[in-house]
């Protein structure tokens, strides 16, 4: 239909998902949700002009309307000389294992409710005798996506995942705090509700009574959740080829240069068995792969989709990503992985004379300058190899280029976070402000 | 739409629940993004479907459907009601949902509806702004310009008898130029968004937003990174709004009370700041991004006096929270779309102006920092910790605005920061923003006058 309306190339992306979730507040179950979502996004190309439209249904009339709108938008666009073509079907697809777990897809709602009760009970055990309120949730989802284009691409894949979270709040006479922990996986057998409830409650207790410190230059230990934000978003976003091509990234023309400490190795691996970011094709239907990003501190490559790869005349890395059917392809990581070094988090801390531990932060750098000013969402003060106390109103300031160069230790306590797979690491020196 | 909603409510009640509500949405959006004079994105969407909730004895269930037939609505509704009944056995706290009912058909009056403006005209507007930013100075090496529009028709009904038809219409223009000099690169973002038709894109301010953003990006080339430390901080209206929103508004959302997740839990009716401090949330302002006549549960909206003369006064309510806390509902329940449940949210949130002249306020500060423009901010109400980042600022030296600084962050605690506010300006401005909570984004506005916070930690390199 798109071709009939005048499009030279066309692509349809169909996304379908079903998610079931149960949530608890104040230590008791409160609500359940069942969400089914299916829609289609249509990309059309007319002489280097691109249009896109999506609709939240799959009915014939709505899809027809989307195609018409997409073509109309393409016609009104200003041509992009750098656009070459949508991907074609010249390559075969890899086999990626562990993406679909029948046990998750068919998980009865009773089992979900049972998990949440186990999380809360485990948390309660740790918090016994205190004033607390525990929020928790479990969401299982299964879905499929399909990409079809006029150049012969036609692929689809089904995937499942489950996430559990626990958020205990503890009140003392003159203090109140909260922490959280989560587990996310494609493999139901990896779930451990008791461990989650226990760990979240212990984390919450550990941050009671936070203090400020005298600021200054000191070491910063990033535990996996903090590392996941700073590297998984703050660095991964900077090596998107689109940002680099547009001169908007703090990483520029640095291919083959030493941009990080030789202790740092990073890969992006879309083929990892059961990986959360794993898939056999990317959001444009291009075959997935495993790519080296940093090897002993040297920048080995950027993340590409078909547009940026065509523009640079390089091999597509298959990193096109979309928010399901409701958007055009941008670029993001699949499974972004820091290779483990040696030592547990405790061992890394024991080597610090004076510094702070960033367990978690929500802050990202200015992607153009690389300047990072991160509040320690959950932070601790370290002196002479030991954690002294939790921190409040404390910020870490450093430029990302310095942060990468100053990584002096990488641990082996690897964990899967929402943004990447990473162990803890130590940044030798950064500016800490607290008050 | 009404017959579909009533079919769903009827099916839910027949299945055995005590309350049910339905939102049927039909929205369209267009987004046009230009990079360096070229169309990078040109997107249209239609969101069409219904969200159905069922409730009994403290147990909620929710589901959505895009099958907008009577049979489809009934089937989804029965399944939601069954899910609520299954959840009922496991809930600990029992309560009922009550509230006033409303019936209204609100037609939004805009001067230039989006569908009366051609796609070519919109494309030309984006191109003009994109060119404007690039032509401002040869050091502008890259431009990004985004135009967005949303128009929605929403029908809301519940089993208490509420029947509301609502409309919304929001345009937005964003200019993001990058400036470069040697290896120094700086990026700036400016945006304008209101509740209106295309006419608000034709104001002088909107038509010159590319120049404004480009000028700031060029200025940033000669800025310095701020030195971290404790400062007397003067906030501009944009940032004052963010502090008000992050450091207070979120903690006043009433769903925090049943969950015991706010540091304000025991503070209702008590002093939380100086007596010259008032913070309001007002969805009844005309033409603002966060405005709506009724909320997404169909409750008529009212101005909320979150802080009045230093006293914590109003909470932001949904029907559930006003029922459970036995307080007056004030229409603060909003959803991102039919795919989400309504939860208490802010609308247009601001600090009420007082009497300081802005120049006198800066002169009186001697040594400090003036923070301007907003990058982002967030908070954790249960802990009281918040942080936000200004896009730029100026050191205040000897009572004068001096060196420009960039990317300045401020961290603080909700219960500590309000007490540190010692001077509030008489100027006033609101800026458009988007607020995220529980995975849902809704349009908001934030602002106020200039204001000063004494001795706050500011992060730097």
What pLDDT was estimated at residue A383? 97
CB contact under 8 A, B409 and A395: yes
Angle A195-A197-A199 from CA coordinates, rounded to 5°: 65
> How is residue A334 written in tokens?
């699949």
Question: Are B339 and A35 within 8 A, CB to CB?
Answer: yes
What is the pTM assigned to this prediction?
Answer: 0.92
Question: Taking CA atoms, what residue in B is nearest to A326?
Answer: B45
Q: If 0-12 CB within 10 Å is exposed, 13-18 middle and 19+ buried, where does residue A144 land?
A: middle
| Rounded distance between C-alpha atoms, residue B220 and residue B380, angstroms | 31
Residue of A54, A77, A178 with shortest CB distance to B39: A77
CA pair distance A127, A197, nearest whole angstrom: 10
B44 phi/psi in degrees, rounded to 5: -130, 150
For A396-427, the pLDDT digits (tens) are 999 999 999 999 999 999 999 999 999 999 99
Measured over the CA atoms of residue A378, residue A384, residue A386 and residue A387, the dihedral's sign is negative
Of B59, B119, B455, the CB nearest to A31: B59
Q: Is the pLDDT of residue B281 over 90?
A: yes
Burial degree of A202 (CB within 10 A; 0-12, 13-18, 19+)? middle
Inform me whether the C-beta atom of residue B266 falls under 8 Å from chain A C-beta atoms. no
Catalogue the E-assigned strands of B159-236: 163-181, 184-187, 190-193, 224-225, 229-235
CA B268, B273, B278, B279 torsion-angle sign: negative
Residue where the block lists tokens 């703090």 = A250
Query: Parallel, antiparallel, or unpaired: how do β-strands A386-390 and B103-105 relate?
Result: unpaired
Determine whether the interchain pair A435/B259 forms a contact, defined as Cβ–Cβ distance below 8 Å: no
Position B461 pLDDT exceeds 80: no
For residue B240, the model assigns a pLDDT of 95
Question: How far, in Å, are A217, A334, A404, A426 from residue A351 at the CA level?
Answer: 17, 33, 19, 10
Q: How does DSSP classify residue B255? A: G
* Chain A with chain B: Cβ pairs closer than 8 A: 252
Would you say A70 and A5 are in contact if contact means Cβ atoms under 8 Å apart?
no
Q: Looking at chain A from residue 126 to 155, which residues have their Cβ under 8 Å from any Cβ of chain B?
A: 133, 135
Is the Cβ of A395 closer than 8 Å to some Cβ of chain B? yes
Q: What is the ipTM of this complex?
A: 0.88
Give, as one character, the DSSP assignment of residue A91: S
Which phi and psi angles does B309 have, rounded to 5°?
50, 45
| Interchain proximity B411–A395, CB inside 8 Å | yes
Residues B51 and B361: their CA atoms lie apart, in Å, by 49
The closest CB to that of B460, out of A35, A51, A397, belongs to A397
Would an 8 Å CB–CB cutoff place B46 in contact with chain A?
Answer: yes
CB within 8 Å: A393 and B44: no
Beta strands in B66-111 (DSSP E): 103-105
Residues B317, B268: Cα–Cα separation, whole Å: 14
Q: Do A247 and B141 touch (CB under 8 A)?
A: yes
Pairwise CA distance, residues B346 & B289, whole Å: 11
CA distance A364 to chain B (A): 10
Q: Give how far B284 is from chain A: nearest CA, Å.
A: 31
- Say if the Cβ atoms of A32 and B385 lie within 8 Å: no
Cβ within 8 Å, pair B61-A399: no
- CB count in 10 Å sphere of residue B401: 16
CB contact under 8 A, A369 and B261: no
Give tens-digit pLDDT for B405-443.
988 899 898 889 999 999 999 999 999 999 999 899 999
Q: Distances from the Cα of B164 to the Cαs of B67, B287, B293, in angstroms?
A: 21, 20, 10
Q: Which residue of A has its CA nearest to B406?
A: A371
CB contact under 8 A, A328 and B230: no
> Which pLDDT belongs to residue B95?
93
Give the chain A residue whose CA is nearest to the CA of B82.
Answer: A32
pLDDT, residue B353, reads 98
A101 at interface of B, judged by CB pairs closer than 8 A: no
Q: Which of B19, B25, B28, B45 to mutate to test the interface with A (most CBs of A within 10 A)?
A: B45
Q: What is the pLDDT of residue A253?
A: 67
Q: What is the pLDDT along chain A (435 residues), one digit of tens a residue?
A: 778 888 899 999 999 999 999 999 988 899 999 988 999 999 999 999 999 999 999 999 999 999 999 999 999 999 999 999 999 988 899 999 999 999 999 999 889 999 999 999 999 999 999 999 999 999 999 999 999 999 999 999 999 999 999 999 999 988 899 999 999 999 999 999 999 999 999 999 999 999 999 999 999 999 999 999 999 999 999 999 999 998 889 998 678 999 999 999 999 999 999 999 999 999 999 999 999 999 999 999 999 999 999 999 999 999 999 989 999 999 999 999 999 999 999 999 999 999 999 999 999 899 999 999 999 989 999 999 999 999 999 999 999 999 999 999 999 999 999 999 999 999 999 999 998
Is A266 exposed, middle or buried, given 0-12, 13-18 or 19+ CB atoms closer than 10 A? buried
Note the pLDDT tens digit of each residue in B300-321.
Answer: 999 999 999 999 999 999 999 9
pLDDT at B371 over 90: yes
CB-nearest to A368 from B45, B178, B412 is: B178
pLDDT at A250: 93
CA distance B30 to B180: 31
The answer to whether the Cα torsion of A119, A170, B454, A388 is positive or negative is: negative
* Confidence band, pLDDT 50/70/90 cuts, at residue B293: very high
The separation between CA A256 and the C-alpha centre of its own chain, rounded to angstroms, equals: 26
Interchain pair A397, B228: CB under 8 A: yes
Q: Is residue A392 less than 8 Å (CB to CB) from chain B?
A: yes
Choose among B45, B141, B409: nearest Cβ to A55. Answer: B45
Which chain A positions have a beta carbon within 8 Å of B460's beta carbon?
373, 397, 431, 433
CB atoms near residue B211 (< 10 Å): 18
Chain A interface test: which of B40, B59, B225 (most A C-beta within 10 Å): B40
Q: Is the dihedral of CA A332, A335, A340, A346 positive or negative?
A: positive
Q: Which of B41, B60, B187 shows the shortest C-beta gap to A248?
A: B187
Q: Are A378 and A179 in contact (CB under 8 A)?
A: yes
Residues 259-278 of A with CB under 8 A from B: none
**Cα separation values, A91 from A13, A271, A287, Å:** 19, 16, 7
Q: Determine if residue B384 is left, alpha or beta; phi over 0 gives left, psi from -120 to 50 gives alpha, anything else beta.
A: left
Spatial separation of the C-alpha atoms in residues B4 and B24, rounded to whole Å: 9
Q: Helix, strand, or coil here: B266?
A: coil
* Runs of H (alpha helix) within A150-189: none
| Separate counts of helices (H) and strands (E) for chain A | 9, 23
CB contact under 8 A, B49 and A57: yes
First-residue to last-residue Cα distance in chain B: 56
Say if B276 is an interface residue toward chain A (CB within 8 Å). no
State the DSSP code for A32. Answer: E
Query: 3-class DSSP state for residue A341?
Result: coil
Q: Does B185 contact A247 at a Cβ distance shorter than 8 Å?
A: yes
Mutation target for A interface from B21, B24, B31, B43: give the one with most A CBs within 10 A: B43
- Contact status, residue A335 vs residue A268, Cβ threshold 8 Å: yes
Interface of B with A in 6-25 (CB under 8 A): none
> What pLDDT shows up at residue A91?
82
Q: Which residues of B touch A31 (CB under 8 A)?
A: 59-62, 87, 341
When the pLDDT of each residue in chain B is averaged and rounded to a whole number, the result is 95
User: Whose CA is closest to B68, among B125, B121, B7?
Assistant: B7
CB contact under 8 A, A80 and B38: yes
Nearest Cα residue in chain A from B417: A393
A216 touches chain B (CB under 8 A): no
For chain B, positions 340-399, list CB contacts with chain A under 8 A.
341, 375, 378, 380, 382-385, 387, 389
Query: Would you call B457 and A396 a contact, using CB atoms and an 8 Å cutoff?
Result: no
Q: Where are the alpha helices (DSSP H) in A320-397?
A: 345-350
């Amino acid at each position: 239909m798109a071709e009939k309306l005048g499009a030279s190339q066309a692509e349809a992306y169909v996304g379908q998902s079903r998610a079931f979730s149960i949530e608890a507040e104040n230590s008791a179950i409160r609500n359940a949700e069942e969400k089914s979502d299916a829609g289609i996004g249509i990309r059309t190309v007319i002489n280097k002009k691109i249009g896109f439209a999506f609709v939240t249904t799959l009915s014939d009339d709505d899809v027809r309307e989307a195609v018409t709108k997409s073509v109309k938008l393409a016609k009104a666009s200003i041509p992009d000389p750098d656009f070459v073509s949508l991907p074609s079907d010249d390559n075969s697809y890899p086999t990626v294992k562990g993406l679909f777990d029948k046990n998750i897809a068919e998980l009865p709602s009773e089992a979900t409710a049972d998990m949440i009760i186990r999380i809360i009970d485990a948390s309660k055990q740790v918090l016994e005798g205190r004033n607390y309120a525990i929020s928790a949730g479990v969401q299982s989802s299964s879905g499929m996506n399909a990409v079809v284009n006029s150049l012969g691409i036609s692929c689809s894949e089904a995937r499942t995942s489950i996430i559990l979270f626990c958020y205990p709040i503890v009140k003392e006479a003159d203090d109140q705090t909260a922490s959280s922990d989560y587990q996310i996986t494609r493999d139901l057998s990896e779930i451990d509700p008791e461990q989650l409830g226990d760990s979240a409650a212990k984390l919450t207790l550990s941050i009671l009574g936070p203090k400020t410190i005298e600021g200054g230059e000191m070491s910063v230990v990033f535990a996996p959740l903090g590392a996941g934000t700073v590297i998984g978003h703050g660095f991964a976003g900077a090596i998107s080829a689109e940002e680099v091509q547009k001169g908007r990234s703090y990483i520029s023309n640095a291919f083959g240069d030493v941009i990080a400490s030789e202790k740092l190795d990073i890969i992006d691996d879309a083929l990892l068995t059961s990986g959360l970011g794993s898939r056999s094709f990317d959001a444009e239907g291009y075959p997935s792969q495993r790519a080296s990003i940093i090897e002993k501190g040297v920048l080995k490559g950027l993340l590409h989709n078909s547009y940026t790869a065509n523009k640079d005349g390089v091999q597509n890395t298959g990193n096109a990503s979309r928010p399901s059917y409701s958007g055009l392809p941008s670029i993001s990581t699949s499974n972004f992985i820091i290779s483990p070094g040696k030592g547990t988090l405790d061992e890394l801390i024991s080597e610090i004379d004076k510094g702070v531990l960033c367990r978690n932060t929500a802050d990202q750098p200015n992607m153009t300058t690389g300047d990072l000013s991160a509040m320690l969402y959950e932070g601790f003060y370290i002196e002479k190899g030991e954690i002294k106390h939790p921190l409040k109103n404390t910020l870490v300031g450093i430029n990302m280029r310095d942060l990468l160069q100053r990584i002096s230790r990488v641990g082996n306590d690897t964990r899967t976070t929402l943004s990447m797979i990473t162990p803890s690491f130590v940044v030798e020196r950064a500016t800490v402000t607290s008050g | 739409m009404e017959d579909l909603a009533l079919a769903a409510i009827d099916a839910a009640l027949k299945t055995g629940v005590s309350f049910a509500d339905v939102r049927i949405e039909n929205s369209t959006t267009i987004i046009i993004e230009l990079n360096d004079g070229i169309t990078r994105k040109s997107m249209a969407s239609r969101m069409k479907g219904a969200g159905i909730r069922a409730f009994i004895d403290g147990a909620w269930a929710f589901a959505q459907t895009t099958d907008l037939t009577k049979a489809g609505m009934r089937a989804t509704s029965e399944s939601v009601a069954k899910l609520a009944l299954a959840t009922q056995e496991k809930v600990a706290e029992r309560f009922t949902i009550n509230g006033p009912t409303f019936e209204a058909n609100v037609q939004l009056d805009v001067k230039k509806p989006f569908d009366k403006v051609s796609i070519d005209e919109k494309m030309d507007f984006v191109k003009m702004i994109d060119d404007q930013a690039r032509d401002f100075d040869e050091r502008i090496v890259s431009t990004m310009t985004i135009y967005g529009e949303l128009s929605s028709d929403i029908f809301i009904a519940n089993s208490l008898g509420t029947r509301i038809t609502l409309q919304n219409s929001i345009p937005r223009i964003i200019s993001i130029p990058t400036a470069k000099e040697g290896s120094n690169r700086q990026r700036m973002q400016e945006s304008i968004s209101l509740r209106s038709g295309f006419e608000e894109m034709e104001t002088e301010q909107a038509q010159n937003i590319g120049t404004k953003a480009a000028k700031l990006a060029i200025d940033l080339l000669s800025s310095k990174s701020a030195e971290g430390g404790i400062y007397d901080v003067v906030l501009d209206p944009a940032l004052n709004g963010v502090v008000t929103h992050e450091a207070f508004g979120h903690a006043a959302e009433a769903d925090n009370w049943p969950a015991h997740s706010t540091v304000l839990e025991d503070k209702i009716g008590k002093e939380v700041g100086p007596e010259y401090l008032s913070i309001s949330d007002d969805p009844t302002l005309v033409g603002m991004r966060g405005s709506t006549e009724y909320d997404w549960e169909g409750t008529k909206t009212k101005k909320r006096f979150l802080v009045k003369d230093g006293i914590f006064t109003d909470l932001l309510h949904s029907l559930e929270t006003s029922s459970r806390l036995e307080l007056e509902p004030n229409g603060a329940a909003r959803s991102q779309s039919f795919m989400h449940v309504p939860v208490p949210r802010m609308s247009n949130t601001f600090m009420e102006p007082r009497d300081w002249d802005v120049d006198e306020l800066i002169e009186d500060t001697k040594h400090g920092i003036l923070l301007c423009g907003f990058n982002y901010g967030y908070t954790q109400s249960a802990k009281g910790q918040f942080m936000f980042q200004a896009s730029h600022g100026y050191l205040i030296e000897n009572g004068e605005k001096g060196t420009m600084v960039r990317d300045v962050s401020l961290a603080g605690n909700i219960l500590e920061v309000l007490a540190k506010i010692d001077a509030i300006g008489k100027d006033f401005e609101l800026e458009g923003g988007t607020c995220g909570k529980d995975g849902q984004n809704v349009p908001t506005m934030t602002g106020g006058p200039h204001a000063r916070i004494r001795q706050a930690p500011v992060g730097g390199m």
